[in-house]
Structure 1
Amino acid sequence: MALILTFLGKGGTGRTTVAVATAKRYAQEGKRVLLASLDTSPALSLFLGETVGSQPTDIAPNLKATYLKSAQLLEESWEELKTLEAQYVRTPFFKNVYGQELGVLPGMDSALALNAIRQYDASGAYDVIIYDGISSPETLRMLGMPEILSWYVRRFRQVFLDSDFWKAISPFAQPVSSAVLSVDLSADNFTQPTNQVNNILDDGKAAVADPNRVMAYLVTTADDISLATARYLWGSAQQVCLTVGGVILNQANLTDEIAQSFDPLNIHSVPKIPAQDWQILTQALPDFSASATTAPRSISIDVAKRQVSLFLPSFDKKQIKLTQYGPEVTIEAGDQRRNIFLPDSLRGKPVTGAKFQNNSLIISF
């Protein structure tokens, strides 16, 4: 399993520059590195001095880079879908639709990129995968997909099976489908493919929540807007359970005011690199591996106290909406909505109070 590392910040703060420097540093340390970019503009190729393709391209010893081109990823995923369909459905209906014909729907890019990263990780060919997204909100939505999709599978599958509609048609659906379509529409037939999806989503959620597997760093300049954006992204990252390991202050000196605004994160100032002198920048980068044990965790649950604590820096209580539906609590903050599936000991217990303390929302049951 690889360490997956990404960088969050306002556009123009040097996220791609820092990503390239980080990839070079890990490669120099002997790690097998893949630098993957969803931005298919020529920028990454210019930074690396090599033409990067849609398949991992050799850049230097231990270092490869690739563009995650959505159309090609969709074509590959479509073939995988048809394979699964043939495995679980007796009369596949996607077999005559070809991946080369498909257009990429808005928002599909992130899902395709996440699946590609999952496959590169599962290949065992890399020790470190560095992801350079088009924008930081897009990156957070991508990393939050396992949690969001698992909620849809969990809630809507059961809602459908429990619905009066399904109860009314189920006595007739199976014999008719077997006779006419040769398709098994019994509820049990959903179990295998649904469990396979759930296993993938559970693995994804566990990886994002584990700082030894997935981690982000904030990148900012001393500009007020860049600093405010970095703080907002810090809080938003907690909503997808993503650990933020620290801050990289690009081309600026650290002040007490900046340090206080990101406390308790460590802040590392990096200089402007003259004429693509990457060695200066790689030496100024922090020890990313050390951050896994020191960075604040996004959630903690104290069963004895009947409390759930969410670390939400940059937000206050007025910006947070809390709702409860059965065994889950939903937290809305910024552009993110997070569903927390409660442990058995708290499930069914109503929320008795919520307070905001030390950048954390503490919910009592």
Structure 2
Amino acid sequence: MRIILYLGKGGVGKTTVAAATALRSAQLGYKTLVASTDIAHSLADSFDIPLGATPMQIADNLWGQEISVVADIHNYWGTLQTLVSKAMTGPGISNVVADELSAFPGMDEIVSLLHINRQAKERAFERVIIDAAPTGETIRLLTMPDTFRWYAGHVSRLESTVVMRALKPFAGRLLQGPAEILEAVSTLDAATAELRATLSDPSISSYRVVLQPEKMVMREAERAISYLGLFNYPVDSVIINRILPEEAGESDFYRQRQGIQAKYIELIENNFRPLPIWYAPYYAHEVVGLEALSQLAMDCFGPSDPGAIFYRGILQEIVETPDGGYLMRLPIPFVGRDDVRLRKRGDELFITIGNFKRELILPTVLAKRRTGGGRLQDGMLEITFLPLEAEPAVSN
């Protein structure tokens, strides 16, 4: 079973790449589902075939689906939402308003992910290809299992606390039927725990970032990989999409655009090491329909199976040190020099080792700290981040 999730900035072509990957996988004989978790679905437009909330067959071995949260939400959330909704109704609050207010923040993301996990668990498909929402929404989606489990753990412990026992006489209907609520939370928590294990298992799940050779797109992709690393989600490759062909034209416009793309392609190749990088051309025609998607898959992946695992290993590791600082470890293969130069600007870190240069986007926990130096050891670059300086005392 393989789950491959494509993410990237809106408009970079991740829907098209996901569709092409799924089609090629099906052509290789794997029973494949391609599903969209983006609220603004465009997967059906890519295939030029209507799709719905349940899997619909597109071609031999290939099914497509545009996941509907509304269609699935009651499978996981119905019992708990009904109980909370009933508890909230009363003077001044209609049933409709109570039902809206009872929706747990982020439940739409949880339901989308649980739907993906259900496909994996049932083993109905050998491969599930996910066309995800734009990067920011997808990162939020992928952090929801950890967030929900934190809340669920606290809710499960709440019944036995002194505070809960003290509040019971005053809380009225909100605390009626706590056993049902706790049972519903426990069921959802168990499903979310299984989901988290599936999404972080590198033998099952892979994450791929689609980007175009442009500065803003590249920076957002770097941030995405940084945050995926924090949550131990395995990234196995990067796809550079819409690369202008060399024979595009002799005009100044095309030469300038090709020059800009060449600069950022080189940066991407340096900044995303050691991930494999795939290259997809910019076509004169729209990439719509099975024939065009099949061509894209061959131009991007060549004879390789796009459902294979292209990279195994840690892209970055961040550990807290006993003094309150942090240590970041990055694999830097084939670089043997020891003089490491670091320059930090906001959340950007510039690394220079001899002729090797790399720019890195830091997660928030490191962006606000000063670096304490770096060293190469056994193919790993270790960078220290100092403890936060104590805030000066405010005098009265």
The TM-score normalised by the length of structure 1 is 0.69
Q: Tell me the amino acid that sits aligned with residue 277 of structure 2.
A: I
The residue that corresponds to 1:215 in the other structure is 206
Matched, 1:282 2:297: yes
Q: Deviations over 1:10-31 (max 9, x none)?
A: 2221111111111111111111
Give the C-alpha shift of residue 108 in structure 1.
Answer: 3.9
Q: Deviations over 1:220-278 (max 9, x none)?
A: 11112111111111112123321111211112376443311212212111223454322
What SS does structure 2 have at the residue aligned with 1:161?
A: coil
Q: Tell me the amino acid that sits aligned with residue 139 of structure 2.
A: L
Q: Deviations over 1:113-133 (max 9, x none)?
A: 112222222222111112222
Counterpart contact for 1:32–1:127, Cα < 8 Å: yes
Classify 1:270/1:166 alpha carbon distance in 2 versus 1 (closer, same or farther; 3 Å).
same
Classify 1:67/1:105 alpha carbon distance in 2 versus 1 (closer, same or farther; 3 Å).
farther
Radius of gyration: which is bigger? 2
1:333-344 to 2 correspondence within 5 Å?
Answer: 333-334=363-364
The residue that corresponds to 2:392 in the other structure is none
Counterpart contact for 2:135–2:220, Cα < 8 Å: no
Q: What is the rounded CA distance, in whole Å, between the counterparts of 2:35 and 2:71 in structure 1? A: 14
1:16-95 to 2 correspondence within 5 Å?
Answer: 16-39=15-38, 41=40, 43-79=42-78, 81=80
Q: What is the rounded CA distance, in whole Å, between the counterparts of 2:126 and 2:385 in structure 1? A: 36
Classify 1:5/1:223 alpha carbon distance in 2 versus 1 (closer, same or farther; 3 Å).
same
The TM-score normalised by the length of structure 2 is 0.64
The residue that corresponds to 1:89 in the other structure is none
Give the C-alpha shift of residue 141 in structure 1.
Answer: 1.4
The residue that corresponds to 2:152 in the other structure is 153
What SS does structure 1 have at the residue aligned with 2:20?
A: helix
Counterpart contact for 2:55–2:65, Cα < 8 Å: yes
The residue that corresponds to 1:235 in the other structure is 226
Q: Deviations over 1:276-331 (max 9, x none)?
A: 322332122264523252x425558899xxx9966689x969659xxxxxxxxxxx
Q: What is the rounded CA distance, in whole Å, between the counterparts of 1:184 and 1:80 in structure 2? A: 12
Classify 1:120/1:298 alpha carbon distance in 2 versus 1 (closer, same or farther; 3 Å).
farther
Counterpart contact for 1:317–1:355, Cα < 8 Å: no
Classify 1:258/1:191 alpha carbon distance in 2 versus 1 (closer, same or farther; 3 Å).
closer
2:280 to 263, 270, 276: 270
1:296 to 298, 314, 322: 314
Counterpart contact for 2:80–2:184, Cα < 8 Å: no
2:239 to 244, 248, 253: 248
Question: Identity percentage over the alignment?
Answer: 22
The residue that corresponds to 1:123 in the other structure is 122
Q: How many residues end up aligned between the 2 structures?
A: 318
Q: Tell me the amino acid that sits aligned with residue 296 of structure 1.
A: I
Q: What is the rounded CA distance, in whole Å, between the counterparts of 1:247 and 1:288 in structure 2? A: 14
The residue that corresponds to 1:112 in the other structure is 111
RMSD: 4.6
Matched, 1:206 2:197: yes
Q: Tell me the amino acid that sits aligned with residue 265 of structure 1.
A: L
Q: Tell me the amino acid that sits aligned with residue 211 of structure 2.
A: T
Counterpart contact for 1:13–1:221, Cα < 8 Å: yes
Classify 1:250/1:335 alpha carbon distance in 2 versus 1 (closer, same or farther; 3 Å).
farther
Q: Which runs of 5+ in 1 are unaligned?
A: 86-91, 321-331, 337-352
Classify 1:185/1:65 alpha carbon distance in 2 versus 1 (closer, same or farther; 3 Å).
closer
Q: Which runs of 5+ in 2 are unaligned?
A: 89-94, 244-260, 332-342, 349-361, 376-380, 388-396
